[in-house]
Amino acid sequence: MSNLHITVWNNCLQTIKKIVKPQSFKTWFEPIKPIRLQDNALTIQVPNKFFYEWLEEHYVGELKMAMRQELGESGRLEYQILMSHQTPSKDNPLVEHTNDAAPNNGNTPLYANDPSAGEIKNPFVIPGIKKMKIDPNLNKSYLFTNYIEGDCNRLARSAGVAVAKKPGGTAFNPLFLYGNSGLGKTHLVQAIGNEVSKFYPEKAVLYVSCEEFTNQIINSIKSNAVQDFVRFYQMIDVLLVDDIQFLANKNKMQEIFFHIFNTLHQAGKQIVLTSDRPPKDLEGIQERLISRFKWGLSADLDVPEFETRIAIFESKMNREGLDIPTDVTEFICYNIKNNIRELEGVLISLVAQSTLNRREIDMDLAKNVIKHFVKNISKEITVEFIQELVADHFDVSVDKLQGKTRKRQVVIARQLSMYLSKKLTNKSLKAIGENFGGRDHSTVIYSCKAVQDLLDTNTIFKDTVSDLEKKIKMNLHE
């Protein structure tokens, strides 16, 4: 009976898993841990206050339904929220919520000077630059408005917006964004900086790559100006550091960053870091730094799903004033799967080729450009492939689709195969008919009309056709 709370929560998860998207389930439900079941109240542990608020805002209905199924109408769900900078212990396992900054832990800054006093040497410009004149080092085109949201980045983007609205005043400080190269980390972290600069012009915002940061440290050591360097960074209100993993195995630089981090965090200043991996997987980084990276919220950016890639590509097209045919856009987004930066590269190449060669952007041009970005271009959709997939869905043989049987299930499958062949291939009506036992073009036209009539009147059939279209495209292009 001692594990009843685990059994109840696992049953709730099975219910919830059926009604939410896989990526959403992974992001919002897998991290939850059941704590106890007492007086018909199930207590669950969530990582932070932001996590709790997101569940209450977006998934309260799903949670209530699952709880009712397991515990009845009187069942209750209670939350316990981990402090942002602690791990559970027997003495102080959990707290309901916290907005407090991390404790001092007895660590004093490497340099005790008041960072707001006197003239500050700015490693980006020249010595003698005061706080209000700091260049944030931001790309003004990186904004939230042109950062497309999808399941792949929803948590990271939402956290970024929250930080930008209230820098240093949320439970996720630092905000640690991680993911593979080309997934939009730099865009997102700079969007935070641009938003803060817009609404809090009095705050000193600074974006710096880890490579640039380490080069500055080296220069400050050479010129015997480390103290000025540290004082400069200690006066920043919102510090954005890209690719923090490059501090690996650089102990002196880690020591300097450690004290900058402590001073800013204890003063309630906002820190945002990016990396190509989560804090727990960082190698060559001191444990005391890794533990601080875990104080706030760690949010991953995953590979964008097909629909998000389409939205990203179309957004970039619109900014360039381009009108690219839908089939060409889909072809590009099927082939460029893992890197948003490559989508930008394809678009630039298409525009260049189209302009220099004075030709329209069509499928042939897209195929020619794509060859330079991917090793294996996806094959074209064929009538035979459509027949196989539709036949499998309706549990009939391809021979029957091509034969003369008039059984209702076979007729619907045959007509749908013709409809999809006309829509998704470049075959003529005559060529399509020949693939279905030598039928003429008028039969294909009739079949397409019959399917269209069903689509207009039957929502279940419409969903089936939509799912098959996606399956045809995605299976072929994997």
Among residues 316, 345, 370, the one where a domain terminates is: 370
Query: Model confidence at 146, in pLDDT bands (50, 70, 90)?
Result: confident
Domain identity same for 349 and 425: no
> Does residue 365 sit within a domain?
yes
pLDDT digits (tens, 9 = 90+) for 37-96: 988 889 998 877 667 777 877 788 889 889 988 998 888 888 887 644 444 443 333 433
As a whole number, mean pLDDT of residues 436-452 equals 91
> Does residue 274 sit within a domain?
yes
The alpha carbons of the chain give a radius of gyration, in whole angstroms, of 28
Q: What is the DSSP string of 186-205?
A: HHHHHHHHHHHHHH-TTS-E
CATH of the domain at 143: 3.40.50.300
- DSSP letter (8 states) at residue 104: -
CA angle 441, 444, 448 (to 5 degrees): 145
Return the pLDDT at 240: 96
| Residue pair 142/191 in contact by the 8 Å Cβ criterion | yes
Domain identity same for 261 and 334: no
CATH of the domain at 8: 3.30.300.180
Domain identity same for 145 and 252: yes
Residues in Cβ contact with 272 at an 8 Å cutoff, skipping those fewer than 6 apart: 160, 163, 174, 175, 176, 177, 189, 192, 238, 239, 240, 241
> Does residue 122 sit within a domain?
no
Structure tokens at 470: 């996606």
> Does residue 168 sit within a domain?
yes
Q: Which residue has the tokens 């102990």?
A: 251
Q: Which residue has the higher pLDDT, 404 or 425?
A: 404
> Does residue 249 sit within a domain?
yes
Measured CA to CA, the distance from residue 343 to residue 354 in angstroms comes to 16
Measured CA to CA, the distance from residue 346 to residue 334 in angstroms comes to 13
Among residues 268, 300, 332, the one where a domain terminates is: 300
Query: HSE (CB half, 13 Å, CA atoms) of 428?
Result: 5
pLDDT digits (tens, 9 = 90+) for 294-330: 999 999 998 888 788 888 888 888 777 777 888 788 8
Q: Which residue has the tokens 């794509």?
A: 370
Measured CA to CA, the distance from residue 284 to residue 248 in angstroms comes to 4
Torsion sign (Cα): 191, 197, 198, 199: positive
Domain identity same for 197 and 328: no
CATH of the domain at 340: 1.10.8.60
The 3-state DSSP class for residue 148 equals coil
CATH of the domain at 442: 1.10.1750.10
The 3-state DSSP class for residue 271 equals strand
Return the pLDDT at 84: 40
The 3-state DSSP class for residue 49 equals helix
Domain identity same for 180 and 287: yes
Measured CA to CA, the distance from residue 178 to residue 186 in angstroms comes to 10
Q: Which residue has the higher pLDDT, 424 or 117?
A: 424
Domain identity same for 417 and 364: no
Q: Which residue has the higher pLDDT, 338 or 36?
A: 36
> Does residue 115 sit within a domain?
no
Cβ-based neighbour number of residue 115 at 10 Å: 20
Domain identity same for 146 and 260: yes
Residue type, 313: F
Measured CA to CA, the distance from residue 27 to residue 5 in angstroms comes to 21
By mean pLDDT, which of 191-200, 341-350, 432-441 is the weakest?
A: 341-350
| Residue pair 310/273 in contact by the 8 Å Cβ criterion | no
Query: Model confidence at 120, in pLDDT bands (50, 70, 90)?
Result: very low
The model's pTM is 0.56
Residue-averaged pLDDT of the chain = 81
Q: What values do phi and psi take at 45, rounded to 5?
A: -105, 130
| Residue pair 209/242 in contact by the 8 Å Cβ criterion | yes
Domain identity same for 209 and 353: no
Domain identity same for 323 and 282: no
Q: Whole domain around residue 340: which residue ranges? A: 306-370
Among residues 319, 346, 370, the one where a domain terminates is: 370
By mean pLDDT, which of 92-101, 190-199, 217-226 is the weakest?
A: 92-101
As a whole number, mean pLDDT of residues 395-400 equals 90
Domain identity same for 399 and 420: yes
Residue type, 441: H
Domain identity same for 160 and 263: yes
The 3-state DSSP class for residue 319 equals helix
- At 63, which helix (H) or strand (E)? helix 60-71
> Does residue 90 sit within a domain?
no
By mean pLDDT, which of 122-126, 176-180, 191-195, 279-283 is the weakest?
A: 122-126
Measured CA to CA, the distance from residue 216 to residue 294 in angstroms comes to 26
Return the pLDDT at 110: 31
> Does residue 113 sit within a domain?
no
Our count of domains for the chain comes to 4
Residues in Cβ contact with 436 at an 8 Å cutoff, skipping those fewer than 6 apart: 401, 402, 414, 417, 418, 443, 444
Residue 123, pLDDT > 80, answer no
| Residue pair 286/251 in contact by the 8 Å Cβ criterion | yes
Measured CA to CA, the distance from residue 9 to residue 11 in angstroms comes to 5
Domain identity same for 184 and 278: yes
Return the pLDDT at 285: 94
